[in-house]
Amino acid sequence: MTGRDRDYTLKIAELAIEKIKSLELPADPRSFELWYAYMVGRYTDLIRRINSALDANGTLSVADIDAIYDEFFSQREHVERVGTKVSGEIDRIVEMLHELIVSTSESRADCSDASRQLALATDPSAVRATADALIKSLRAVELKHAALEQRLSSSKKEMDVLKQSMAVLSVEATVDPVTALVNRRRFDSALEQAIGSANASKQPLSLMMVDIDHFKRFNDRFGHLVGDSVLSLVGMVLKKSIKGQDTAARFGGEEFAVILPNTALHNAATLAEQIRTTIMSRELRTRGTGQNLGTITVSIGLAGYQHDESARALIERADACLYEAKRAGRNRTCSDIGLREMQGQSDTSASLNGNFSAVIGKVA
């Protein structure tokens, strides 16, 4: 079966529609394209992203669909347009180089003919005529080369512009438009890189998962535009709180992740508390009317990397801590060590890394 096979494509389309129906989503073009790509099964990043959202919430909202669609498909048309232009410029350059080769070959042939005629000529007028013809031919070649040089210069400028466009698209493809943090795709690659560095250097690595408390209720009450402002606020706080090799990302929906290379868990916990209290202290107001919308809080889960652990296992442990912070009442930070202690597991690192409890940073 191929992507153009009638029976195959109809089957994929039916599966996509069934999924849309089961989640009670609208069957608009965006939703259908997303679920069709999901059912094809080749796009592993997209599948992981959707599965993660489903695991976290059990369903997907229209806002989730739009966010995931923008993350994976919004840049495609721009890339295709720029790619077409690049291809066209390359064709132009190849054509010009071909003209240059032909004109150079013609010039060499003219020179060879003139050389033979001059060798045989005895009459001065014949020599002069041959020389004039050769000069005329060389001038024509010179003019043609000058025109080609100008066209090549123009194409080079166009290629530079297209190169800059591709660089911008490359950045946009890894940045979440609402929070200006890196998106899930970039987060996945950054975490793999951080794990590789931690294994090589034997330095600590911590992962922080941050979730906005009662975000859906806030979003439903005040609308998606205000909800986006809340997401933007959290993103801004995270961005200002990190430094160096740290990476803050929008993990999905109202959940964020912060990768902290060369950071022990107790230092990560200190940072998490600074983030939590900073967000809690921000009073939200509407821009137009100045209406006080109250404050928001976040729950935070922390996990320290264990040698040769997979990225997925590290995320799952940090998520488990986040879930425990939620279960304990929200607006809290829960550490991996504290969670293991609470579950009755012995771990020497618990005695080496300070006074962690199952849940730290309780409501102020």
Domain boundaries, the chain: 6-73, 76-172, 184-352
Q: pLDDT digit string (tens) for 41-91?
A: 766 777 878 887 887 778 888 888 888 887 777 655 555 555 555 555 566
Higher pLDDT, 323 or 139: 323
Look at residue 174 and tell me whether its pLDDT is greater than 60. yes
Burial per residue of 315-332, b for 16 or more beta-carbon CB atoms within 10 angstroms, e otherwise? bebbbbbbbbbbeeeebb
Outline where DSSP puts E strands in the chain.
Answer: 205-212, 247-252, 255-261, 284-285, 292-294, 298-304, 333-335
Q: How confident is the model at residue 349 (pLDDT cuts 50, 70, 90)?
A: very low
The answer to whether 60 touches 53, Cβ cutoff 8 Å, is yes
What percent of the chain lies above the pLDDT cut of 70?
62
Higher pLDDT, 117 or 252: 252
Higher pLDDT, 318 or 105: 318
Q: pLDDT digit string (tens) for 312-329?
A: 999 999 999 999 999 999
Look at residue 261 and tell me whether its pLDDT is greater than 90. yes
Residues 349 and 336: their CA atoms lie apart, in Å, by 11
Strand partners, 255: 211, 252
Q: The domain 184-352: what is its CATH number?
A: 3.30.70.270
Tokens found for residue 60: 């997907």
